[in-house]
Amino acid sequence: MIIQRFLLRFPLLLLILCAPVWGQHKNEIVATLDGRTQQIRIRQHFTYVNRSDKGLTTLYFNDWNHAYSNKNTALAKRFAEEFNRGLHLAKDRERGQTTIKTLVDDNYGGLDWKRVENRDLIAVNLAEILRPGESIQLFFTYTVKLPSSKFTSYGYTPNGGYNLKDWYLTPAVFDGEDWRLYDNMNLDDIYTDVVQTSINMTYPEKLFLASNYRQSNVSRFPGGQHTQLFGDNRKSCEIILTLEETFTKHVTAPLTVITDIESNKYDEISQGISIDRIARFLYENLGEYPHENLLVSDFDYNKSPLYGIGQLPSFIRPYEEQFQFEMKFLKTAIRNYLEETLYLDPRQERWVNDAIGYYLMIKYVEEHYPGQKLIGKLSRIWGVKNFHLAQMDFNEQYALFSMLSARKNIDQALTTRNDSLIKFNEKIANGYKAGLGMSYLSAYLNETKVDSSILDFYQNHRLKQGVTAQDFRETLEKYADKDIDWFFDEYVSTDKKIDFKIKKLRKTDDSITLVLKNKKGTNVPISLFGLQNDSVVSQYWFTDIDTTKTVTIPRNGEDRLVLNYDQKIPEFNQRDNWKTLNGFFSSNKKLKFQFFKDTEDPYYNQIFYVPIANFNIYDGVTPGMRLYNKTFLERPFQYDISPTYSFLERTLVGKASFKYRKYHKKTGLFYTDYSISGSTSHFQQNSRFSTLTPAISFGWRPNDLLSNRRQYLTFRYRNVFRNIDDNLIGEIDTNPDYNVMNVRFVDVDNNILNYTSWFVDAQHSSDFTKLAFEMEYRKLFHSNRQFNLRFYAGKFLRNKTESDFFSFALDRPTDYMYDLSYLGRSESSGIYSQQIIISEGGFKSKLENPFANDWIATTNASTNIWRWVEAYGDLGFIKNKGDNTRFLYDSGVRLNLVTDYFELYFPIYSNRGWEIGQDNYGQRIRFVVTISPRTLTGLFTRKWF
Q: Which amino acid is at 616?
A: N
pLDDT over 70 percentage in the chain: 94
Residue 649, in any domain of the structure: no
Coil, strand or helix at 416? coil
Cβ pair 194, 25 in contact under 8 A: yes
What is the structure's pLDDT at 838?
92
Q: Which domain holds residue 135?
A: 24-245
User: C-alpha distances in angstroms, 547 versus 260, 528, 880, 887?
Assistant: 53, 17, 63, 67
Q: What is the mean pLDDT of residues 168-174?
A: 96
At residue 18, the pLDDT reads 38
Q: Which is higher by pLDDT, 2 or 593?
A: 593
- Summarize the confidence of residues 847-867 as an average pLDDT: 94
Sign of the CA dihedral running 861, 863, 869, 871: negative
Q: What is the pLDDT of residue 9?
A: 38
Alpha carbon distance 118, 76 (integer Å) = 11
Handedness of CA 636, 398, 455, 52 (dihedral sign): positive
Neighbouring C-alpha atoms within 13 Å toward the C-beta of 266: 17
Q: Give the integer Cα–Cα distance in Å for 192 and 209.
A: 24
Residue 868's pLDDT band, with cuts at 50, 70 and 90, is confident
Q: Is 134 part of a structural domain of the chain?
A: yes
How far is CA 181 from each of CA 336, 342, 393, 425, rounded to the nearest angstrom? 23, 19, 42, 23
End-to-end CA distance of the chain: 67
pLDDT value at residue 264: 84
Least confident of 174-188, 546-560, 635-649: 546-560
So what's the pLDDT on residue 314? 66
The whole-number pLDDT of residue 584 equals 54
- β-partners of residue 792 are 774, 858
User: How far apart are alpha carbons 380 and 297 in whole angstroms?
Assistant: 32
Instruction: Using alpha carbons, list the distances in angstroms from residue 583 to 78, 437, 529, 592.
Output: 56, 35, 19, 21
Mean pLDDT across the chain: 91
Q: Helix (H, G, I), strand (E, B), or coil: what is residue 923?
A: helix
Extended beta strands in 704-842, E state:
709-723, 738-749, 754-764, 768-780, 786-799, 808-809
Choosing from 245, 269, 302, the residue where a domain stops is 245
How many Å apart are CA 273 and CA 922, to the nearest integer? 68
Residue 808 included in any domain: yes
3 state SS of 373: strand
Longest dimension (CA), the chain: 118
Domain total of the chain: 3
Confidence of residue 265 (pLDDT cuts 50, 70, 90): confident
- Confidence band for 533, pLDDT divided at 50, 70 and 90: confident
pLDDT value of position 306 = 85
Domain presence at residue 545: yes
Q: What is the pLDDT of residue 504?
A: 85
pLDDT digits (tens, 9 = 90+) for 615-624: 999 999 999 9
Mean pLDDT of all residues in 502-517: 89
- What was the pLDDT predicted at 16? 36
pLDDT-based confidence at 604, cuts 50/70/90? confident
Selected residue with higher pLDDT from 12 and 613: 613
Q: What pLDDT, on the 0 to 100 scale, is given for residue 21?
A: 38
- What pLDDT band is residue 447 in, cutting at 50, 70 and 90? confident
Give the CA angle between residues 697, 901, 806 to the nearest 5°.
55
Closest residue by Cα to residue 860 from 803, 811, 911, 827: 811
Per-residue pLDDT for 942 more than 90? no
pLDDT at 769 over 50: yes
- d(C-alpha 599, C-alpha 468), whole Å: 37
- Residue 8's pLDDT is 38
Instruction: Note the pLDDT tens digit of each residue in 644-700.
Output: 999 999 999 999 999 999 999 999 999 999 999 999 999 998 999 999 999 999 999
Picking from 725-734, 758-767, 914-923, which range would have the lowest pLDDT averaged per residue?
725-734
Q: Of the candidates 245, 260, 280, which is a domain's last residue?
A: 245
Q: Is residue 536 part of a domain?
A: yes
The residue from 542, 560, 588 where one domain ends is: 588
CATH code, 108: 2.60.40.1730
106: pLDDT confidence band, cut at 50, 70 and 90? confident
* Average pLDDT value for residue range 84-96: 90
Phi and psi at residue 327, to the nearest 5°: -70, -40
**C-alpha to C-alpha distance for 514 and 516, rounded to whole angstroms:** 6
Q: Which residues pair with 914 in a beta bridge?
A: 909
CATH number assigned to the domain comprising residue 562:
2.60.40.10
pLDDT tier, 931 (very low <50, low <70, confident <90, very high otherwise): low
The verdict on residue 485 lying in a domain is no
In a domain, 758, yes or no: yes
CA distance 366 to 356: 15
Other beta carbons within 10 Å of 884: 7
**Within a domain: residue 715?**
no
Statement: residue 568 has pLDDT above 70: yes
- Mean pLDDT, residues 631-650: 94
Residues 269-289 have a mean pLDDT of: 96
Q: Which residues contact 429 (CB under 8 A, 6 or more apart)?
A: 401, 402, 404, 405, 406, 411
pLDDT for residue 734 is more than 90: no
Mean of the pLDDT values across residues 85-106? 92
Smallest CA-to-CA distance from 684 within 630, 638, 619 is with 619
The residue with greater pLDDT, 582 or 55, is 55
- Kindly report the number of other CB atoms within 10 A of residue 387's CB atom: 20
How many whole angstroms separate alpha carbon 810 and alpha carbon 861? Answer: 15
